[in-house]
Amino acid sequence: MKLKKNLMFLLIVLVSIIGYSQQKKSMQEYHIYTDFIEDESGNRLQGVTVRVIGGDSDQTDNNGTFSIRVHYGDRIEVLLNNKKIDSYIYNGKEDYVINDYNNVISTKSKLGLSYEKALDSAKYYSKKEALKSIPFVEIALKNTSNKKKEAKAFEVLADAFYKLKQYDLAQSNYLTVYETFSKSIPLQLKIAKVYYKNSHFLKAANFYNKVYLNKKATPIQQINALEGLASLAKRDDKNTLAISNLNKALKIAETHLVTPKITRLNTKLAEVLSGNANKSNFYIDKSIVSAKKESKKKIISQTNKVADFYGKQNEIEQEIVYRKQTLKSFEDDNVSEIKIAENEILNKSKVKYDIGKALVKQKKYKEAITYLSESADEAKTGNNIEIEKDAVRGLSEVYAVIGDDKKAISNYNRLSKLVDFSFKNKEQEIKRAIAISKDIANKQNRILSLETNKALTASKYKLSVSDNKRQKTIIYSLIVGVLLLLLTLFYMFKSNKQRKLNNNLLALKSLRSQMNPHFIFNALNSVNSYISNNDERKANRFLTDFSSLMRSVLENSESDFIPLEKEIELLNLYLKLEHSRFEDKFDYQFNIDTNINISDFEIPPMLLQPYVENAIWHGLRYKKEKGLLQITMRQKDNETLEVVISDNGIGREKSKALKSTNQQKSKSKGMQNIKQRVTILNEMYKDKIAVLISDLLENKTGTKVILTLKKD
């Protein structure tokens, strides 16, 4: 008996310590406080201001809901028509009662909110503003002990996590419902979908097959399952199997007159059969006919998809026809924009950019400039910086090709400002992503803790049955509690790991965005020197080569890694440009070991260029006699590639001495960015890249950079 009592005591202490430490940690962090305000009759109130003293503020929407960022202990004020109604200290509770001192309204928050109302609110927000739905799920769970109702709440919670792209959390909550209560067909489809998102492809295929073979499945459910199986087959390059599944789905859709699915399936069949022009065109025509039976927005969406299809097939004439048809539908139907995917909006400025891009491929530059200019202006008016950036980039490239240097440089300058503005926006996105990830983790942990407390409360209630039963109940409940807490810690670890990965990816994207304008500015200085020397011929030739280089740089700017062969091409083109300017200062050699299997290696884009640029601008440029730049690549072993960049320039010490006082205070932006990129990439890919910089000769002249790159 003593042993059992001691064991129970230790488990209780463990639970208390972990719970206290978790609570203490959460109180140090802010999170998103979501609530609603209603009057005594239960009517939601719109336009009420809720604010943190010295912090965030928000107004209740048409559903009476507000959302603000708070710390524990913050004072919150509630105002109506700029008049203070009440204030209270936030301590994490959900049962605040707000008194109206001005006799305008008498309001209450979530106190007494029923399970049904809380779940309805959660469902409403899970489709629009998923983050707001999570607190309502928590209230629903607090107000029920019924397993069926709990399962419904956890499914809504999983839907919210899926909408927030927290696929690991969505998967665990869907599986909780599946394993404890429901094995419904809609739930099985959701599980298959989230397994696919989490790259568990075999498990996804298993659930899709279950649905398809289930005799109780509706036609639409069978179609969705077959679409999922087709996507899995296409991913594995099993096109014959993908076509078979899509044809089965199409037959079901045509039999039961499911028109939206008929349009979608014909488009997918055309994509899979893209190698067979006759068959793919047949299905494209069928998709257009089907789309005309639906809404005007569906016709716009479908003609745009068809244009995308022909663009991928490099049938530019057909692409332009359907792009212009899409634009005409926008104008004729007076539609401003349509949603074509979960996070993708199509509008006129985007369509005009796509037309301009296609016209460039046909070398119809004058017509392309018209569309690209209109796209850039409309995107600027609509505050769509990404489309504006793409359109301005296209304009700069076209003007460079046709030899209009002034407009090319003007658009490059405009592009660099847009890139800088975009970089600042991405920094804010990183901060928002961190805040949201922390808040999601806190909310998930609170819900898991709620379930733990329920289990402990239930165990206390059963103590009065008998002595033996009492002991077993306590022990089992505590074991369950500890397991749930361990599960909570596991989810926290997994969520933090995912958040760190997302933050690293956003940081890499921001650094790449910052490197592009830095590179553009340096190159534009070279163009400017030719123009100032009235060497128009060299300026034109330089701009043409520079346009090709920039196209390659911008095409690769969204990728973490590119084939080594592409990086070598980019570097060759860059060296050609710099040598044309400083041909009296240096020669260069490219030595690539013939034993290297270039296709086996991938490299971050623009990784080598800053080191080469440093060698030219800070080493060879100041040398009195003509210098030599050598780039050597050799394969050390099956897994490792070594790149050596060496120059016999003036050396690092002398280069530093030549700099002005102001220059010595500021570091090279390109080198600083490359160091940050290497650090982040090594964190993400387990020390994939190593860089060593040293003097080439004993007298400290010349510089040698040794970069080693490992395979994945």
SS3 sequence of 576-638 = HHHHHHCCCCEEEEEEECCCCCHHHCEECCCCCHHHHHHHHHHHHCCCCCCEEEEEEEEEEEC
Cα-based distances in Å from 78 to 58, 133, 347: 10, 22, 39
What residues form DSSP beta bridges with 58?
Answer: 50
Strand intervals (E) in 99-230: 107-108
Predicted pLDDT at 520:
64
Residue 32 region, left (φ>0) first, then alpha (ψ -120 to 50), else beta?
beta
Amino acid at 640: T
pLDDT for position 13 = 44
CA 236 to chain centre: 24
CA distances from 36 to 88, 161, 193 (A): 15, 21, 32
Q: Over 60: is that where the pLDDT of 382 sits?
A: yes
Cα–Cα–Cα angle for 286, 290, 296, nearest 5°?
Answer: 130
- CA 326/CA 303 separation, integer angstroms: 6
CA atoms within 13 A on the CB side of 66: 25
Report whether pLDDT(92) > 70. no
Q: Over the stretch 559-579, which tens digit does the pLDDT of each residue have?
A: 777 888 888 888 888 888 888
DSSP class of 44? B
- Residue 22, helix vs strand vs coil: helix
More confident residue, 555 or 364: 364
Please name the residue that has the structure tokens 């909550």. Answer: 173
User: In this structure, are strands 586-592 and 627-637 parallel, antiparallel, or unpaired?
Assistant: parallel
For the record, the structure tokens of 350 come out as: 């985007």
For 417-456, write each residue's pLDDT tens digit: 877 776 666 656 555 655 556 566 555 565 655 555 455 4
The token pair at 137 is 């799920």
Q: pLDDT tens-digit profile of 173-220?
A: 899 889 888 889 999 999 999 999 999 999 999 999 999 999 998 998
Give pLDDT tens digits for 670-712.
577 777 777 777 777 777 788 888 888 878 888 999 999 887 6
pTM comes to 0.47
- Specify the higher pLDDT residue, 268 or 252: 252
209 within 8 A of 185, measured Cβ to Cβ = no
- Collapsed DSSP state (helix, strand, coil) of residue 282: helix
Domain 559-710 has CATH 3.40.50.720: no
Please report, to the nearest 10 degrees, the dihedral formed by the alpha carbons of residues 322, 327, 331, 335 taken in order.
100
